[in-house]
Amino acid sequence: MSFQSNQRPETGAFFARDRGWHAPALTPEYKTSILRSPQRPLLSLDGTISEITGPVFGHSMIGELDNDLIQNYARPGESAIGERIIVHGRVLDESARPVRGALLEFWQANAGGRYRHKKETYLAAIDPNFGGCGRTITDDDGHYAFRTVKPGPYPWPNGVNDWRPAHIHFSVFGHGFAQRLITQMYFEGDPMIWKCPIVQTIPDRAAIEQLIAPLDWGQTIPMDARAFKFDIVLRGRRSTLFENRLEGN
């Protein structure tokens, strides 16, 4: 798809990632990372056309209920059980420009902390009307929104008594494959956040705060659903004022 825009085409390389802001690969308190973390330095290279470009997805692929997890797996006339919430926000780049046409995919446990997955054996019950996946695409201003039930915390076999905070997983595509990002959103005021080894993989508290969505009272729909606001920032890209021209262009 092509975007109608009077801006210069986006062909600049992306800003280098601040790898001290992100979690390092090896974070021993999160035990699985010990054998799944590269030990050698990453090979660094200014972005090439292979990473500057990336797939974009048309709004036409989005079904009517794709961004409504309360309804998209529910039997007719029924709905998922749990606290009804709206999660919404904007996808921006590091230069604070809206990222339009960004595909967001979400997944989460149900209100009791149970995932609908064959490898999940937690004793909390499956909700027959809740699947746990959704997706949407940002509008021209970078906005997105979806409706769901607030997930519950759940225990996991890491330490003897480790529990994940309530969280929603996010997968985001910007305009270049170098922007590809998967992260997790947490909820304002949850005391579990500060006990979690996966949260603690992130070294800087300010970076962790960036994953915590505040209650957005203004967007709450009376008698229906509370709202939480979660903005996402993807890598910015250099403008192409003085880029070397490729031979043959």
d(CA 186, CA 148): 14
Q: What are the two backbone dihedrals, phi and then psi, of residue 106, each rounded to the nearest 5 degrees?
A: -130, 150
d(CA 184, CA 179): 16
Told to judge if 143 belongs to the known catalytic residues of this protein, a careful annotator would answer no
Bridge partners of 164, per DSSP, are 154
For position 241 contacting another protein by CB under 8 A, the verdict is no
User: At its nearest, how many Å lie between another protein and the CB of residue 56?
Assistant: 6
Using a 10 angstrom Cβ sphere, with 0-12 exposed, 13-18 middle and 19 or more buried, the burial of residue 87 is buried
Told to judge if 59 belongs to the known catalytic residues of this protein, a careful annotator would answer no
Q: What is the CA radius of gyration of the chain?
A: 20
Which residues between 10 and 69 bind another protein (CB under 8 A)? 10-11, 15-19, 21-25, 27, 30, 32-40, 42-56, 61, 63, 65-66
23, 202 contact by CB (below 8 A): yes
Told to judge if 169 belongs to the known catalytic residues of this protein, a careful annotator would answer yes
45 to 15, 77, 178: CA distances (angstroms): 11, 54, 12
Told to judge if 164 belongs to the known catalytic residues of this protein, a careful annotator would answer yes
Told to judge if 167 belongs to the known catalytic residues of this protein, a careful annotator would answer yes
**Site map for another protein, 101-130, x if CB under 8 A?**
----xxx-------xxxxxx----------
**Where do we find the tokens 């039930």?**
149
State the number of binding residues for another protein (CB under 8 A): 98
Please identify, among the stretches 78-86, 145-153, 167-175, 219-227, the one whose residues bind another protein according to the rule CB under 8 A.
167-175
d(CA 243, CA 10): 12
For position 236 contacting another protein by CB under 8 A, the verdict is yes
Which residues between 59 and 98 bind another protein (CB under 8 A)? 61, 63, 65-66, 72-73, 92-96
Which residues between 182 and 211 bind another protein (CB under 8 A)? 182-184, 198-199, 201-202, 206-208, 210-211
Nearer to another protein, 11 or 220 (CB): 11
Nearer to another protein, 57 or 220 (CB): 57
Residues annotated as catalytic are 115, 154, 164, 167, 169
